[in-house]
Structure formats: C-alpha cells, structure tokens
Amino acid sequence: MQLERFQMNASKVLVQLMLAVMFTHELDAMTQSEWRLLYVLRSLSDEQGRWWFTALHIPLFWALIMLTHHRSELVQSMSRSGFAVFCIIHALLHWRLASDPLSTFSSPLSWGLILAAAGLGAAYLCMHLRVSRRT
C-alpha cells in the first residue's frame, strides 16, 4: 500500500515537473523566436509569428494541465503518457533542427530545459511501465 502511494505521488510529481520544465522551455523559446522553426508559422512576419506562437500556447497549456490532472484515471494516464512521449520526441526534433540556421537553441539553459523534459518523460514512462506490469 505504501509503495503504491509513493509511486502514485512520484508519478504525479514527475508530470508536474515535466509541465514546469516544458512551460519554462516555452519562455526560452520566445527569446529564441522558435516560431521561425515551425512550418506553419515560419512564413509569417516576426510580429505575427510571435503573436500566433504565444496565442496558441494558451489553449495548449490549458489542455495539458486539464488532461494530465483529469478526474478520470484513464484520461490522466493516457494524457500523461502521451505528454511524456511528446517530451522525448520534442528533444529529438530540437536535436534534428540544431543545425538549422534559424535555430538559436545553443545555450546550456536551452538544452538543459529540452533534455530535462525528455529525461523526465523517460523517467515517467519507465515508472508507468513498471507499475503497469505489477497490476
């Protein structure tokens, strides 16, 4: 019982940390003009790209918070796992785009945030798989 409670709390903390790191990455992304790397937004002027990049994060952040903390355990589990997978894919996309001249994510802070989110995502998935196998 105590191990199960610890794992549930640890899982929740990992998700909350993942969210915090990704939200902070998005703050950094604003300083790096990340919209220039996104196919849909790259054709816009910097002013329009910045506006749309910022505006689109409102429903995105809302949905992430709502779904990862939903009252349904199934919705919570699926969205948390999906978010964890996204954090890993997100890091791979940044790695792939690192040589793009429009990418300015080269500082230790930028890469620390990107890799921390991926690491937390991997830790969450490992913990989730281990708990799933026991039940």
Reported as a single tens digit per residue, the pLDDT across 68-90 is: 999 999 999 999 999 999 999 99
Identify the pLDDT of residue 135: 61
Identify the pLDDT of residue 14: 95
For 32, phi and psi rounded to 5 degrees? -100, 5
Of the pLDDT bands very low, low, confident and very high (cuts 50, 70, 90), residue 132 is: confident
User: Looking at residues 6-28, what average pLDDT do you find?
Assistant: 92
Identify the pLDDT of residue 3: 67
Closest CA to 80 of 91, 64, 93: 64
63 token code pair: 């949905």
The better pLDDT of the pair 11, 2 is held by 11
38 token code pair: 């996104």
Identify the pLDDT of residue 1: 65
Place of tokens 């992430």: 64
User: Looking at residues 39-62, what average pLDDT do you find?
Assistant: 96
User: Looking at residues 111-134, what average pLDDT do you find?
Assistant: 92
Place of tokens 């830790």: 123
Contact 121, 84 (CB under 8 A): yes
Q: CA 127, CA 4: separation in Å to the nearest integer?
A: 11
User: Looking at residues 5-13, what average pLDDT do you find?
Assistant: 81
Closest CA to 111 of 2, 33, 32: 32
Q: CA 75, CA 81: separation in Å to the nearest integer?
A: 10
